[in-house]
Amino acid sequence: MSSVFTTWPAFPLVPLLHLTVIIVVALIANRVLRVITKLLIRPAASQTRAAQSREQQTRTVAGILYSAGSKIVWAVAILTALTEFGFNITPVAAFAGLASLALGFGAQNLVRDVITGFYIVLEDQYVVGDTIQVGETLGRVEHVTLRRTVVRDPRGALVTLSNGDIRTVANLSRDWSQAFVDIALAPETPIEKTLVALEAAAAELRSDPAWSQALVDGPRILGVQSIDRAAATVRLQVRTAPTRQDEVARELRRRIHIEFQRQNIPLATVQRLEIANPAPSGITSAGAATEGTSGSDGVLSGAGRDSKSRPEQQA
């Protein structure tokens, strides 16, 4: 026991002080890193699922950053402390550098996915529950990690997207959505009467309590979108709550159709000419083609009459 106390003063105090300073600096760096990562967390502004999911994702990113930063701080502290005891850390540092380089080349796609996923979450580009479009993929976000995004498309299939492959993303669930409704009218329909009917249908939709909460702006009549010999097209615009534009557009079309029926406003008709049993090419026969008759629905239809060629009598 006395030998321990006799050899204790022989231990150099300078390395011990250096070791203490290294540990204190590492602890302070970890504390500062914890404070910085907590600043990245955005508390949920409401109790909605999207807000809660956004908060959880930022907490996940902050935890990953703190964990990675803390490991780096302690790795540097350990390597620095080893030099105080006479260890040569040059081979260890060289090996660690080569290993990091090999890992970077081998997992560069993974690193790219993780970096892109970090920016997706940090910049709040989209969260679980949003409807997004990435290239040809359109659907609702089911799951988001730093490496991948899982989307449920209109067919019901789960589509997995690597975050590194996402260059441009359209978020269809933010603030409001928009839809355009085109109504094709018969060219002879009075345009003023049509506009009055469309305004009546739009006003009826706006005043309906069941649909007013889904409307942000409109429906409003933009005017005649196009006109030709077949039809005149009138366009309406409506802005709705996120992802509700399709159902509002369907309801608006239904009310317009009812209003048109009430005021006897005809829609554009399609003219069609049917020829039954046409004669083969190169053979002409009397009555092979018949004139069509227009029906009450505006479709031209005609029933062809078969004509048999009679052989000429030989002299």
CB 272, CB 229: distance < 8 Å: no
The neighbour count for residue 48, using CB atoms within 10 Å, is: 11
DSSP secondary-structure letter at 309? P
Of the candidate ranges 37-46, 136-145, 239-248, the one whose mean pLDDT is the lowest: 37-46
CA-CA distance, 30 to 23, in Å (whole number)? 11
Which phi and psi (to 5°) does residue 239 adopt? -110, 135
Rounded to whole angstroms, the Cα distance separating 112 from 116 reads 6
286 or 315, which is more confident?
A: 286
Angle at 189 between CA 263 and CA 219, to 5 degrees: 65
- Which DSSP string corresponds to 187-208? TTS-HHHHHHHHHHHHHHHHH-
Quickly tell me which residue has 């004509």 as its tokens.
Answer: 307
pLDDT given at position 159: 92
**pLDDT tens for residues 183-196?**
888 888 888 888 99
Cβ 279 vs Cβ 309: under 8 Å: no
Q: How far apart are CA 59 and CA 41, in angstroms?
A: 6
What average pLDDT score do residues 39-62 get? 68
Distance CA 253, CA 259 (A): 10
* Measured CA angle at 160 (ends 154, 166), to 5 deg: 100
Overall average pLDDT of the 160-164 stretch: 91
Domains of the chain, each with CATH number or no CATH: 10-106 (1.10.287.1260), 126-171 (2.30.30.60), 177-263 (3.30.70.100)
Structure-block tokens of residue 295: 């029906």
Q: How confident is the model at residue 66 (pLDDT cuts 50, 70, 90)?
A: confident
Q: Which residue has the tokens 């997992």?
A: 107
Residue 269 confidence (pLDDT) above 70? no
Three-state SS at 257: helix
Q: Contact 236/252 with Cβ under 8 angstroms?
A: yes
Q: Pick from 238, 242, 125: which is nearest to 176 by CA?
A: 242
Whether residue 2 has pLDDT greater than 70: no
Tens of pLDDT, residue by residue over 103-130, are 666 667 777 888 888 888 777 788 888 8
Give the confidence band of 256 by pLDDT, cuts at 50, 70, 90: very high
What is the distance of C-alpha 112 from the center of its chain? Answer: 21
pTM of full prediction above 0.75: no
Nearest 5°: phi and psi at 124? 55, 50
DSSP run (H or E) holding 222: strand 215-227
**Pick the residue with more confidence: 106 or 78?**
78
* 244-253: pLDDT as tens digits: 888 899 999 9
